Structure 1
Amino acid sequence: MKIALAPDGAELAWAEAGEGEPLLLIAGQATGMAGWGPAAQALAHHFRVLRYDHRGIGDSGKGSADRYTTRLLAADAAAILQAAGVDAAHVYGHSMGGRIAQWLAIDNPQRVRTLSLAATSGGKRARGEGNAAATNALLSGDLDRMVPLFFDPQWAGEHPDDVRTFFDSKASAWAKSRHFRASRGHDAWRHLGSIQAPTLILHGTDDALTPLPNAVLLHQHIRRSTLVKVPGARHGLHLDHPETIGWIRQFITARARSMQPVGAPNA
């Protein structure tokens, strides 16, 4: 584990694995870097994978309370790249991590080579926001209620350690509440048109937390984007749908010369 310093001096824990072009993974709301699990391991066969714990999560310091917004959390992501000696990286964000990745691409376009966004949205004004029952289940802390929102039941049953690691965020209630507010307060719709990086949008058709219309709107707002709808996938498609790893790899390799990942479902 290594330490990077955020703009306010907060210590951010990060790690790396693999060789090749740098790929920064930005985890979701109140989720630690360990939660990437098998996805990070698979990607590390092809890239220099950088992961980190958000402020207030895992081994990172909590930092200033006023810096818990997706836009300011993007400055933390930039600090990880600086600590790793990386001028520009491919960026993959899941859920709230996708919201943070949007701001990174908007505010630091020179830092982002390609952008991959999974199970995310451009803000709270989107059509098809998650229903109240799904949100309440997410906030309950009850794994029996949360797991079906994220993963296919069969996959979850076969990978209990990965499920446990994903949800074991090692965060205080103080940090979790600020992550929730940061994610809910995200609104980048007016700025998404300025994203220059070729963008891959991955979204499950059965995502109850961030329903599919969010991805459709993202695709409409980000000019150089490709939308891949993943049949039957829920909110945790980055883990229980390993085919997404191949699509990301192909997308990055193509560098926007062919905007549709080979073998992926059409948008």
Structure 2
Amino acid sequence: MPYASAADGAALYYTVQGRDDGEPLVLIAGQSNGHRWWDAALEDFTSTFRVITMDHRGIGGSDKPDDDSYSTRNFAADVVAVLDAAGAGRAHVYGTSMGGRVAQWVAADHPHRVDRLVLGCTSPGGPHAVRRAESVSRSLTQYSARAVRQALLDLMYTPAWLAEHPGPYRTIGERGTPPHVLRKHRIASARHDAWDVLPTITAPTLVVHGTDDAFNPTANAPLLAERIPGARLHLIPGARHAYFEERRDLAGPLVRDFLSSVDR
């Protein structure tokens, strides 16, 4: 199995799929998730791009250190280590949820490595971000694991979609993740604040969000689009947090066309 070595020596599991001659595209998963986050949407990109996915540190096949290395900015450095290992000097970067927070740091700290940037269902973090409702946060801290799972599913997908798709669901956390990793991922995402560096991002940027996203409120999307020079904004009507899966009929072509466009 392919592994990259992070700056601190942590082993990072990654995969490469798609066209050998395609432009590199790295897909970055959400909090407490790894490369399987993208399973349902992967085919939207493999026919066009050389697609790189990875397990964040602490997740899946990657090392799980119990230290202070968990932050969205350090996760961004991990992404660059994976690009190095995969032989991708420059790549398109598409991150969703916490992966979108990580992608902001990749673009800000490593501009020469980013061709085009897509930020999905994410936020700038810090005091400028629009926080989710307290009722949503409470639903994710219930005593019953089954109740928390259902709350997550309801935040990710519409009831109609869930009724027709019995799973498995790849967006509600990687199974078997150690408690210390779950805690550190949660803290890393909560502490994200890239507000001050967003205006320095030079990569052409697309911001995508579902209009019915209560997990990461939709109001964060225009904040990002207004803060990043020249960024485009696209809202997907009726979509919740996992818009890239439930509404891949819209999201897949939208992102693919943006990444493939020639107005660079």
Q: TM-score range by the shorter chain?
A: over 0.9
How many angstroms apart in 2 are the aligned matches of 1:136 and 1:124? 20
User: Which position in structure 2 is the counterpart of 1:253?
Assistant: 260
- Given that 1:39 and 1:238 are in contact with CA atoms closer than 8 Å, whether structure 2 keeps it comes out as yes
> What root-mean-square deviation, in Å, do the aligned CA atoms of Structure 1 and Structure 2 show?
1.4
Change (3 A) 1:117 1:47: same
Distance 1:22 1:235 in 2: 25
Tell me, in whole angstroms, the C-alpha distance in 2 between the residues paired with 1:47 and 1:161. 27
Asked whether the 8 Å contact 1:11–1:60 carries over to 2, the reply is yes
- Give the C-alpha shift of residue 229 in structure 1: 0.9
Q: Does 1:167 align with 2:169?
A: no
Deviations 1:151-199 (A, max 9, x none): 1222223333342x33250311110110111001000101100001000
* Aligned position for 1:261: none
Query: 242, 245, 251: which is aligned to 1:244?
Result: 251
- 2:2 corresponds to 1:2: yes
- Report the CA distance between 1:16 and its aligned residue: 1.2
Match of 1:110 in 2: 112
TM-score (norm 1): 0.92
- Matched with 1:196 is 202
Q: Is the 8 A contact 1:126 1:213 kept in 2?
A: no
Higher mean C-alpha displacement, 137-146 vs 97-106? 137-146
The aligned runs of 1:54-203 (5 Å cut-off) are: 54-63=56-65, 65-140=67-142, 141=145, 142-163=148-169, 165-170=170-175, 171-203=177-209
In 2 relative to 1, CA 80–73 (structure 1 residues): closer, same or farther, beyond 3 Å?
same
Number of aligned pairs?
A: 256
In structure 2, relative to structure 1, the CA distance for the partners of 1:139 and 1:25 (3 Å cut) is farther
Distance 1:220 1:138 in 2: 30
Partner deviation per Cα, 1:99-128 (whole Å, 9 max, x = no partner): 000000000001000000100001132353
Q: SS state of the match for residue 203, structure 1?
A: strand
Instruction: State the AA in 1 paired with 2:28.
Output: I
Do the aligned partners of 2:44 and 2:256 also contact (CA within 8 Å) in 1?
Answer: no
Q: Does 1:206 align with 2:212?
A: yes
Letter in 2 for 1:153: P
Q: Is the 8 A contact 2:92 2:116 kept in 1?
A: yes
- Give SS of 1:174's match: helix
Bigger proportion of residues as helix: 1
Cα distance 1:162–1:126, how it changes in 2: closer, same or farther (>3 A)?
farther
8 A Cα contact 2:95 2:102, kept in partner? yes
Structure 2: unaligned runs, 5 residues or longer? none
**What TM-score, normalized by structure 2, do the two folds share?**
0.93
CA apart distance, 1:238? 1.3
Q: Which runs of 5+ in 1 are unaligned?
A: 258-267
Worse overlay, 153-162 or 209-218: 153-162
Task: Return the letter of the residue paired with 1:95.
Answer: S
CA distance in structure 2 between the aligned counterparts of 1:256 and 1:223, rounded to whole angstroms: 15
The aligned residue for residue 240 of structure 2 is 234
- One-letter code of the match for 1:226? R
Aligned residue identity for 1:97? G
What letter corresponds to residue 39 of structure 2 in structure 1? G
| CA displacement at 1:135 relative to structure 2 | 2.1
The change in CA–CA distance for 1:188 and 1:61 in structure 2 (over 3 A counts) is same
Change (3 A) 1:255 1:187: farther
Contact 2:123 2:129 (C-alpha < 8 Å) held by counterparts? no
